[in-house]
Amino acid sequence: MAAFTLDARTRVAIELALTTDGHEPLDRHRQEARASALGLSGAEIDAARRGRSFDVQTSIALALATANGDEERRRHRARALKAGIGADACREIETFADRFAAA
């Protein structure tokens, strides 16, 4: 199994998962256009909006990125490590999600 990396597709999936209905429709449309340009299908975009993916590691990364609170984040980080997502990648996912949520 190849090492998991936080690539552009996973980053946009995290953005889709973290974007709530309260975000501007134009921003949501731009996200979806970017996701489509990166090769995500409509079904993959819809799944990402719900915090899921058809790819197991990406789904686990989304769960880590959308975790609420320290305890939930620790639980999802442990699950990610078991699934082959390295500690560095976990930190990168968490940092990216925190920065996106704060923007």
Kindly report, residue by residue over 25-46, the tens digit of the pLDDT: 888 899 999 999 999 999 999 9
The whole-model pTM stands at 0.91
Parse the chain into domains and list their residue ranges: 8-102
87 to 49, 51, 60: CA distances (angstroms): 25, 21, 13
Alpha-carbon distance 8 to 2, whole Å? 16
- pLDDT (tens, 9 = 90+) of the chain, 103 residues, equals 568 999 999 999 999 999 876 678 888 899 999 999 999 999 999 999 999 999 999 999 999 999 999 999 999 999 999 999 999 999 999 999 999 888 8
In 3D, which of 56, 45, 57, 59 has the Cα closest to residue 12? Answer: 45
83 CB-contact burial (10 Å; exposed 0-12 / middle 13-18 / buried 19+): middle
